[in-house]
Structure 1
Amino acid sequence: MRFGRTLDEGIIPEWRAQYLDYDQGKKIIKRLCKGADLPKPAEATPGSFYTDQSYAETNVSLRLPSPALNPRKPSLQFRRSSAVKLAGTSEATGTPSSESITDRSPLLDNDRIRTYGGEASVDGTPAVSQQLPLTTFTRNATDVFFNWLGGEVNKIEEFYREQEKEAVRRGDELKKQIDTLQKHRLLLKKKKQSAVPGPTLAWLDRLEFPSVPKCFSNKNDIDARNSHRDYGFRSEVNYTHAKYMLKRASYDYYQNLLKLKSYRALNETGIRKIVKKFDKTFQTSFLESYMSQTSRYNMHTSKQVDILTEDIIKLYAENFESGHHKYAVEKLQRGEIYDPHNRSVLLTGLLIGAGLPLFIRAIYAGVRDLHRGHEFAVRFYLQIWAGFFFIDLILLLLSLNLYAWQHFRINYMFIFELDRSIAMDYRQFPVLPASFFFTLSLLGWINFDVSAGKFGYYIPCLFLGLLVVAFAAPYPAFWSTRKWAMMALLRLVLSGLYPVEFRDFFVGDIFCSLNYSVSNMALFFCLYGKGSWWDNETEAETCGSSHSRVMGFLNCLPAIWRFLQCWRRFLDTYDWFPHLLNSSKYSATILYNLFLSYVRINEGNVTYRALFIVFAILNAVLSSLWDILMDFSLSIDLRPVLIYPRWAYYVAMFVDPLMRFHWVLYVVYWDQTQQSAKISFIVALIEVVRRFVWVFFRVENEHATNVGQSRAFKDLNLPYFYTDETPTPTQSPTLTQGSSATAIPSSRTQVVCKSDSASPRFTAVQRILRRAHTMDFERRQQVADTDQEDSDG
């Protein structure tokens, strides 16, 4: 789908499947030009050159008919010079021979079939030296091409109508919200005049409290409560904030209208270019007549989008710019001024550049002292700092994920339901892990390589304190992002008590790869809870993994959180698949970590070792299959919608299962207890890298599903909701859900699976597996499932 590089940049990623499939059109023309055997369109069968775009899909009610050769000039005929004979034709019949069609192109430089209106003679017939009937080859080629193009135009027309209706609905809703804003302003004036000073507990309503699963509560009550959710807080609407939200919603709405105009213009250009290419290849002249037919369609005749554009400009000017139409147009067009975030990029580079030498020096000093055996405390220091390091490493790798998603135009903000007005840009986010890395490197270098005396024993405590203050203190820098992260952590700790959103299970899976850091919390607090642990090696050893059962429990804790989330999803939906099956997978993970702890505590116990190996194999196999089939929705033939290069998916299908078997290192080095800390570090490092790969494809798979279902935009971020159809000024305006997805119905399957010849049962199972990942979470406002494939299976 490429109309040239310049035009391709204007394609909206989430609407990509709804654009004219220009690449498919070029393939059809190329195969037609090669003279392939062409069945009649009505007799098209699988295996022909248009297998990827089934002919049956184009046979719909609104399909444009194959255009007449020239409806304005019905006497149009082919003509040839009497001195030139058509290549590959029979002299007796003048029709192409089968050999000329299959073995060579009948469209050679000197033997091209040309169509044109022809100048009429006195009797009204074309003034040609010789008239020939339309050849079977050319007629079939024309029918096949224009039947395919008719289906594409029909797809574009239907999608445009749906988007236009949605734009009208959103425009009406925005007008209603702005009218409520004015009533809100008058209501505040009245309250201010009659307000009585006194204490208030309104701040309690800002917290979002845990909820009961839907199976234990009335569905209407749950939906009403969930409609208040916005980034984990709900509250009475502040007028200033509501005004800001509506200004932002007006800008978003205006930009969506511009994108709809761009969609219309790009498809018109694509249709014109593909017909022009056909004309150029076959030396025909269908362009003018075909474009005149498509000009009767709604996407060309309707002026609704233009009217809505003028309405939103007028509405914005009257309510936010004191009636200044010029200022309103400038602000709506300008919107967010592009900010390259040069300072953030520079600061990230400086922090990483300054911290890297210190980090290398600290590692060198720590390993040197460890091998010399100067201080037994060095081993514990390395474990503590390694726990901090893995947290920072996964954040640095997440920065690379964000960059890749931006490069491949994956709408991760839509997937995570982030508010673009307050979310960090992908160039800003690395500042946080870069600052974390520099501080860690600096204090680690002081701890290992600088003679700090007894003060050095408290440096890890200092680093932890700085980390907590930097993350949780309510200072302005990145406050919205940090608040979002804090609420995500709270919901994770209370897993099972909150509905599972995308961020909830995503953060839970991230922590499943950070169990090294989580379990090290027990080591850290145990050591520093004993006071002068650095003077008593025997006492310090009791805090290690070979003695601490708390450390083993914390190693299982992330998997327990995910287990509870799976059960919450089951209780909210009553769908045993995939939630109960997924909970079984995390049960295997819990048992794997549990018996790993037993093996460490009971060294030499053969029974625990055997059970560990059994559950390690079970966990690795189940997790690998789940990653490939569910989270990535991949198989041998991949899947219909791919965002990354094809080779990347095959690499992921090999690398992810391979890294799942990192537990083999524990088995190999069981009898070398002195290597246990190093092996644990290596295994944890492999798991973090594997999670880095998993994040790439899990979010990409979600985006591919959104593309396939044409979930293009979030609903407008509006401040008010209505308890009935006619709200009054006395009603207390409250926050609605901040962002939700809208599923746009589509009458056609966007992409046809390549395994058309597979059995129906296999295809149905394949569809179920590819759709399973969409059930891992719920959106803040439920989305109607419009995928027609599921109903067929």
Structure 2
Amino acid sequence: MTINDGERKRWSNIKTCKTKSIARERKSIMKFAKELQSQMVPEWRTAYMDYDSLKSILEAIETKRKTTRTPIQRKHTIYRNFSGLTRKLSSRSVLSEMESQIPDKEFRQVDEEVKFVAPVDDLGELEVEFFKKLDDEVNKVVKFYKAKVEDVMNEANMINKQMEAFIAFRIKVHDPPSNFDEGLEMARLASEVANVSHISVSSPSRNSGTSVIDVIKEEESYHEVSSPFEDDKEGVKNEPEIEDIDKSKGQAKGKINVRHAALDILDQVKLNNPPDTPRSTFIRILKGPAQNDLKFNRYSLKKIELQLKEAFVEFHYKLRLLKSFSYLNMLAFSKITKKYDKISTRSLSASYMKMVDNTYLDSSELNKLVERVEDVYSKHFAKSNRKKARNVLRPKARRERHRVTFIMGFLFGCAISLIVALILLLRAYNIWDNEHSPKYMDNVFPLYSLFGYLVLHLIMFAGNIYFWRRYRVNYSFIFGFKEGNEIGYIQVLFVCFAIMALALSTILANLDMERDPVTKDYNVLTELLPLGLLVLLLLVLFCPINIFYRSSRFFFITCLFHCICAPLYKVVLADFFLADQFTSQVQALRSLEFYICYYGWGDFRIRENNCRESKVFNTFLFIVAIIPYWIRFLQCLRRMSEGKKAREGANALKYLSTIVAVSFRTANTLNQSFAWNLAAWITSGIATIFVMYWDIVIDWGLFQKNSKNKWLRDELVIPHKSVYYVASVLNLLLRFAWMQTVLKFELPFMHRQLMLAVIAALEIIRRGIWNFFRLENEHLNNVGNFRAFKSVPLPFQYEDDELKDE
């Protein structure tokens, strides 16, 4: 029997369509796997459904079915009971359904979880493995989600109590008892106060009469209590209705008692005054009484309101993350079960997902809670403007604008062109062999090297941000950036290349080696260009106008102020991270000192200075060099006093040893003698060993002997282990850059100032490498503890809560 061309073509088309369908399906699966990875909360990644492992099992099942000519026959009843489709899933595994259908030897009870022990004869081994893994993933996800929802419920209860005190405080401030018309307002309060003491917070459950929506019933009563003191949507204050007011003396007295009962809550609370400000720190040091008494004024009310706003924003963010967690896992379970249906030619995903829908993982009640939180915020903090409230509670991510990328690229091109022009001018005019060249290197080059250090540091930081994003290190959460305002590597490079282009332009303008033959002076205007550029950058940094990334600039200024005022402020990661950056910019700080000396006491018109001969200047060489290390030393002492951690004390000793080493190296540079050189060798060697151990073992978390990754750590974000070994060796080598100062190593073709600049640049590069792995380790610590939220201090503290803490 022969097959004609038409028949052959039809079978070919069928085969092609089938191949394309399989390819589309595989592409869809791969696309969802990447989407799941990109949208999951980085700190919770181990709590999400393990989609890749389930997908790999299904791929093995599909491969086995293709290699087997006859499909494996299975008993439908056993399959249904095994997959848990006949009973609503609780905290037990869905495999518990098989207990009544198969011999007891196949299962056993371990810690309230049904564990599959041996495969069922009538099922394929891979399918048994798939459903066992699927059941474990359901249990894992539901258990984690339930624990997080319970934490949210506890926090909702705390916020309820905070709002209760806040409303009473606001009533007290806006309408003190002496000016309050009891007869008009008490009728409004009487019907609402009763609800305040009957608020119940419960977990979402389909079998109970309560839901998570009960959490904010108290806020419903707050709307009415606080409305006389807030403008309505039309901007007119709500007036109390007086038709239903009972004017009898007995009921009026009862209304007064109701108001007093509403304000009695203030007798049970006091202000939280954590030691995070200079004033509170001094009080703590002097062991004076904490200023926790309530002061009923508008300033205190404004401060409390700001704290509660921040608490609401963070609480709303937690709810949104939980919603996303629920949605992504539900979608993942749906995708993987549909994939199983296509491989096994069954239609069981709908039944399985119906069972999953009835678990604790359903987020419908959480959606309602999110809406109510927005409603409460709009009524109390946004004058009933829901759109304004949503903009605050749901900040939009920073949009990547193409014009920023275009301008960044244009500035980069300008910088490259200026570098080429500078090299050509140096060669054309043979400036290196010019008789005025040493004077230029001693007086002008240190001024411009400051901008070189800054540009290099920004380039390294932009690279850090790029790789943090690529490997999903949540740097914005670790640093505490405001959601939607975190700066990206494109923005950092834009600032970097703008500074680079301006600095190179001023260098070309100031590359004048000829003096006026009469006055023997250089052009005053060009000699002031470095100072003008420095002043311009400082003006932009402190500019209050909303230009050039104001939120990021103010964040930097705040952290800088906390560093300067150490240890008066509570130390967070962003503060000591910035102080660590300054420890690698000692030469830049000395350049700032040179600016003051050169333009203040030198004669910049003839490019001469006597700074090196000044005792004041040499004294400040010591002071400026140890300031960053001294700040870190004080920060470590502050953290040690708060956390009582011995590690912080050891860290303080590390910076103290570095201060001693830097001081002896500076003294050896200024006073050439064997004694100073020997002291510099000894102190620098001890400090280097100390800091190298701290970098690798403590800051990076590497060099763990029993790690599954040899001499590294168990969790790594970079798949290539060699990167960690290379980074460790580079950090070790670059730590010995200080040896140049004690060995007096110099190259004949390189000026001393240029050699110092190269050594400083190597230290900046080392710091850039350190930055990535330091934040990677911090991120992995957050992942290990599932820390995805920052803690927001609440304004009020209840007496009963204080007793519980004690």
Q: Structure 1 length as normaliser, TM-score?
A: 0.65
Which of 571, 577, 594 aligns to 2:663? It is: 594
Distance of aligned partners of 1:164 and 1:433 in 2 relative to their CA distance in 1, 3 Å threshold: same
State the shift of 1:627 in Å. Answer: 1.4
Per-residue CA deviations over 1:244-298 (Å, capped at 9, x if unaligned) read: 984x876765565444233223223434555666787789998677656645532
Find the counterpart in structure 1 of residue 603 from structure 2: 532
Q: Which has the larger radius of gyration?
A: 2
Alignment partner, residue 493 of structure 1: 564
How far residue 19 of structure 1 moved from its aligned partner, in angstroms, is: 0.4
The equivalent position to 1:676 in structure 2, one of 746, 752, 777, is 752
- C-alpha distance in 2, partners of 1:533/1:331? 53
Counterpart Cα distance in 2 of 1:259 and 1:331: 17
Partner of 1:713: 789
Between structures 1 and 2, the one with greater helix share? 2
| Residues 361 and 263 of structure 1, relative CA distance in 2, 3 Å threshold | same
CA separation in 1, counterparts of 2:124 and 2:97? 11
Letter in 2 for 1:436: I
Provide the secondary structure at the position in 2 that maps to 1:583.
helix
> Is 1:152 matched up with 2:137?
yes
1:158-557 to 2 correspondences below 5 Å: 158-171=143-156, 208-209=277-278, 212=281, 216=285, 221=290, 236=300, 238=302, 246=309, 256-274=318-336, 294-300=356-362, 303-312=364-373, 314-315=375-376, 336=396, 339-359=399-419, 361-362=421-422, 369-379=431-441, 380-420=443-483, 424=487, 427-449=490-512, 453-477=523-547, 478-532=549-603, 535=606, 539=610, 541-542=612-613, 548-557=618-627
- Do the aligned residues in 2 keep the contact of 1:585 with 1:619 (CA within 8 Å)? yes
Distance in 2 (alpha carbons) for counterparts of 1:337 and 1:675: 48
- Alpha-carbon deviation of 1:403? 3.3
> Over residues 755-790 of structure 1, what are the superposed CA-to-partner deviations in whole Å (9 max), with x where a residue is unaligned?
xxxxxxxxxxxxxxxxxxxxxxxxxxxxx9xxxxxx
Partner of 1:638: 712
Contact 1:214 1:572 in 2 (8 A): no
User: Following TM superposition, by how much is the alpha carbon of 1:32 offset from its aligned partner in structure 2, in angstroms?
Assistant: 9.4
Query: 1:506 Cα deviation (Å)?
Result: 0.6
| CA displacement at 1:628 relative to structure 2 | 1.5
Q: Distance in 2 between matches of 1:214 and 1:152?
A: 51
Cα distance change of structure 1 residues 351 and 277 upon mapping to structure 2, 3 Å threshold: closer
Partners of 1:332 and 1:520 lie apart in 2 by 43
Moved more, 660-669 or 535-544: 535-544
Structure 1: gaps of 5 or more residues: 36-60, 77-132, 195-206, 229-233, 727-783, 785-793
**2:51 pairs with one of 4, 15, 22:** 22
Cα distance change of structure 1 residues 632 and 134 upon mapping to structure 2, 3 Å threshold: closer
Q: What displacement does 1:459 show? A: 2.5
Change (3 A) 1:24 1:285: same
In the alignment of these two chains, the number of paired residues is 616
Provide the alpha-carbon RMSD of the alignment: 4.7
SS in 1 for 2:278: coil
Cα-to-partner distance string for 1:405-436 (whole Å, 9 max, x where unaligned): 33433322221223236655654444443443
Query: Secondary structure at the residue paired with 2:716?
Result: coil
Residues 514 and 580 of structure 1: CA distance in aligned 2, closer, same or farther (over 3 Å): same
Structure 2 CA distance for aligned equivalents of residues 210 and 360 of structure 1: 54
Give the drift of 1:633.
Answer: 1.1
CA change 1:69–1:209 in 2 (3 A) is closer
For structure 2, the residue ranges without an aligned partner over 5 or more in a row are 1-28, 65-89, 104-117, 180-275, 515-521, 704-709
C-alpha deviation, 1:237, in angstroms: 5.5
Bigger CA drift: 485-494 or 663-672? 663-672
**Do structure 1's residue 658 and structure 2's residue 733 form an aligned pair?**
yes
Residue 18 of structure 1 and its aligned partner are, at CA, apart by 1.0
CA displacement at 1:514 relative to structure 2: 0.2
Q: Distance in 1 between matches of 2:341 and 2:712?
A: 36
Q: In the alignment, is the contact (CA less than 8 A) between 1:19 and 1:267 conserved in 2?
A: yes
Q: 1:554 to 1:362 in 2, by over 3 A?
A: farther
Task: Tell me which amino acid in the other structure corresponds to 2:581.
Answer: I
- Please report the TM-score for the alignment, with normalisation by the length of structure 2: 0.64
Equivalent residue for 2:690? 622
* Native 8 Å contact 1:512 1:558 kept in 2: yes
Inter-CA distance 253–345: structure 2 relative to 1 (3 Å threshold): farther
SS in 1 for 2:729: helix
Which residue matches 1:771? none
What is the CA–CA distance in structure 1 between the aligned matches of 2:560 and 2:341, rounded to whole Å? 61
User: Aligned-pair distance for 1:689?
Assistant: 0.8
| Residue 274 to residue 639, structure 1, CA distance change in 2 (3 Å) | farther
Q: Matches of residues 748-759 of structure 1 in structure 2 within 5 Å? A: none
Cα distance in 1 for residues equivalent to 2:169 and 2:423: 60
Give the direction of change, closer, same or farther, for the CA distance of 1:267–1:465 in structure 2 (3 Å limit). Answer: closer
Report the Cα offset of residue 34 of structure 1: 10
Equivalent in the alignment of 1:89: none
